[in-house]
Chain A
C-alpha cells in the first residue's frame, strides 16, 4: 500500500520547523522531499540597513547554538575588506569561544540523538557534561546563548588568569567524562541497534551533493575549513580531523564524540599559549570600505560562509549568509530512501539541522 506521510513543519522529533513528505510503500520510504522557509526572518535584508556593530548583534541572533560562529565570520569578512588585523590575544579568545561553542553544540546533538532513540539516561549524562561547558561560557562571556564576544578588530572581553586556570582544569574534567561518553557511544548495544546502517549517505553521494562538516566527515569526506584554509589563530594549533567511512547515523554519533576531544585539545593549547597584549583595536565603529569578501569558518555543523559587500559607508551594501544546514538539508531525501518511517525523525535530526540558521 502506498502512502504519503507528512512530517512537520511541527513534529515531536524536530527541534525546529521543516516539512518532509515521505512517499512510502508499507513501512519503507521509497522517496522523500523536504520543504524549508518556515523560519525566514529576512535577516540579510535587515543587515543592509545596519552598521557593523549593529550587524554583529543581529547576526548573533541568526542561531541560538552557533551564535558566536556568525559574529566571528561576519567580523572576519569586514576586517578583510578594511585590511584590519586583530591582535593575537583577541584571535585566541575568539578561537577558545568557538571551540567551547562546538563542544556544547556537539553535546547538545549527541544528547538529543540519544533522546530520540529512547536512551534517556545517556541523554541526561551528556547534557550534564554540556552544562559544565555552558557554565564556562557564561562565566567567560556573561551569557549562555548570545556571547557578544566579537567586535570588529578583536574580542570584546578578556580572559583573566584566574579564569584561564579554571577553564584548563575544566578541560581535564571534560576529557575524562568525554572518554566515558565515547566509550558508551561506540559500544552500547541500544545505540548500535538504532543507528547502525540507518540513514546511510554514501561518500560519492555526499561529495556529489556538497555535504559539509561532521555530516560529510561521517561519510568519509575529509574536509575541514580550520585545517584546509587556516584563518584567525587556527594555524597555531595542532589538531586532528576525524573521518569515519560508514556514513550512517552511528557514524554521525561517533564523529561528534571524536571531534569534541579535538576541540578540547585546541582550547588547551590556546589557553596554555595565550599571548599577552590587547584583545582588540579599540572598538571603534568602522566604515565598511568599498569591496567584497567571502569569509569561511568551520562552525559546529560545518562550513559557514559570509559574503559582505561594502560601499564605503557605515552600512553593509549586502550581507549574504550561508550555513552548513543549507548544504546538508538537501541530502535528507537521499538518506531517507530505503529506511522505515519509524527512523525518519532520527534521520532528519542526524544531520544536526539548524533550520533557523538555514532560513535566516
Chain B
C-alpha cells in the first residue's frame, strides 16, 4: 500500500533535503504547487522512498532556491511549470522561455494568474476579448 507522508520544512531546507535524497538514490516523483484555503502558496517536493512517498512542504514562500543543479530536468520542468502557473520564483532557474503557456501569453508569465483566477472570470475575459 502506498503511504503519503507530509513533512513541513522551511525554504532553507529545500536544497539540503534534495541533496540528501539524491545521495540516497531517491527519485524525485514531482514538485507540486497549489494555493491552500488560506491563500498561501504551497510547494511540495515528493520523493519516492519506496514503497512510500515523503513529501517535503514549504508554505507561504514566493521565492525559493531551485534544485535543478541536483535533479536536472526532473526538477527544472516542474519548477518552470509552477513559475508559469503560480508565479513562484526559483532562484538559479532559467525562466527565459515558456514551457506550457502559449507564446502570446508571455507577458503574463510568472505572474501566476492562471491557477489563481476563478475559471468563470477567465471565461468572461476570453468572451470580452473575442468581442473586441
Report the Cα distance A338→B53, complex, angstroms: 37
Within A191-232, which residues are at the interface with B (CB < 8 Å)?
208-210, 212, 223, 228-231
Q: Which residues of A contact B51 (CB under 8 A)?
A: 228-230
Please state if B28 and A210 are interface contacts (CB–CB under 8 Å).
yes
Given contacts A210-B27, A295-B2, A307-B44, is CB(A330)–CB(B101) below 8 Å? no
Residue pairs across A and B with CB atoms within 8 Å: the count is 99
- The answer to whether B93 has its CB under 8 Å from any CB of chain A is no
- The answer to whether B14 has its CB under 8 Å from any CB of chain A is no
Q: Is the interface of B mostly helix, strand, loop or mixed?
A: mixed
Q: Is the interface of A mostly helix, strand, loop or mixed?
A: mixed
Q: How far is the CB of B129 from chain A (nearest CB, A)?
A: 16
Given contacts A228-B51, A294-B29, is CB(A36)–CB(B99) below 8 Å? yes
Please state if B46 and A294 are interface contacts (CB–CB under 8 Å).
yes
Interface size of B by CB at 8 A reads 39
Q: How far is the CB of B72 from chain A (nearest CB, A)?
A: 5
Please state if B2 and A326 are interface contacts (CB–CB under 8 Å).
no
Q: Which residues of B contact A303 (CB under 8 A)?
A: 29
Given contacts A228-B48, A305-B46, is CB(A293)–CB(B74) below 8 Å? no
Q: How far is the CB of A204 from chain B (nearest CB, A)?
A: 11
Q: Which residues of A contact B32 (CB under 8 A)?
A: 294, 307, 320
* A residues at B contact (CB < 8 Å): 35-37, 40, 42, 44-46, 48-49, 76, 80, 208-210, 212, 223, 228-231, 292-296, 303, 305, 307, 309, 311, 317-318, 320, 322, 326-327, 330-331, 359
Top-6 shortest CB links A-B: A210-B74, A330-B73, A229-B51, A318-B34, A37-B100, A228-B50
* B residues at A contact (CB < 8 Å): 1-2, 4, 6, 27-30, 32-37, 44, 46, 48, 50-53, 55, 71-74, 76-78, 97-102, 114-115, 119, 122
